[in-house]
Structures are given as C-alpha cells and as structure tokens.
Amino acid sequence: MELRALRGAITCDEDSKSEIETKTTRMVKELMARNGLTPDDVVSMLFTTTPDLRAEFPATAARAALGLDDVALMGAQEQDVPHGLPRCIRVLVHCTTDRPRRELHHVFLEGAADLRPDLPQQ
C-alpha cells in the first residue's frame, strides 16, 4: 500500500446549505468510486471553497453523508482570484492504495471540468 493524493472539484449553482451538502457528497462519492476507495483507505481530506460559498462547510457535509467520522477533514478558503471559477468546492484526498499513480482518477465535475481539460471526463 502506498500513500497517494487525489484531487477533485465541483461547482455549485447557489450558496445554500443543501447545495453544498449535495455537491460535496457527489464529488467525494465519485472520487472514491472511481478509485475503489473505502473510508478506511482515506487518511485525510482538505477541502477548499471559493469565497462566494459560505452556507456550509464541505467537511461537515462529507463527514455526515459518508461516514467519515474518524478521518481527518479540514476546510479552508480558496484564494480570491478575479478570474477564478466561482462557487467551486475543491478537495485534496490523501489515501492508501495498491494502485499505481497512473491508474488513479481525479474527479472534476460540472463547471469544474474546465479546471482540468486535460483529464478525461467520465
């Protein structure tokens, strides 16, 4: 087993608690499914949000929806860059896996797919 890092991002349509919960859950579930991860494989997650998302903490949403009670989760605010993607949640996941780096799948969903056009969208 190796320690690996995975990236993910998703955009929200609005700044609401339910939207942040729904989008965070979708992004993390997709990232875990595409990489064959279970909660026991996850070492930590660092979430960031753009300054225009303030209604809920993505870490709180992930913990509640995905049973990540014993995983280190943290949130921070993304840098406020004028040309940045609005209403975006990002995650950096540290996990243990037998998969080599070339077989890992980062997940950039909805409007966040524009952040990484080099990655295949599934």
Question: Residues with Cβ < 8 Å from 48, sequence gap 6 or more?
Answer: 75, 76, 77, 78, 89, 90, 91
Task: Encode pLDDT of 45-65 as tens digits.
Answer: 999 999 999 999 999 999 988
The DSSP line for 29-76 is HHHHHHTT--GGGEEEEEEEE-TT--SS-HHHHHHHHHT-TTSEEEEE
**Residue 18 is assigned to a structural domain of this protein:** yes
Q: Tens of pLDDT along 18-50?
A: 999 999 999 999 999 999 999 999 999 999 999
Kindly tell me if the per-residue pLDDT of 116 is higher than 80. no
Whether residue 69 is contained in a domain is answered as: yes
Residue 107 scores a pLDDT above 70: yes
Read off the CATH number of the domain in which 60 is found. Answer: 3.30.1330.40
Domain extent, residue 8, equals: 2-115
Structural domain includes residue 121? no
Instruction: For 66-102, write each residue's pLDDT tens digit.
Output: 888 899 999 999 999 999 899 999 999 999 999 999 9
In a domain, 120, yes or no: no
What are 91's two structure tokens? Answer: 């995650």
Q: What is this structure's pTM? A: 0.92
Structural domain tally of the chain?
A: 1
> Does 122 map to a domain?
no
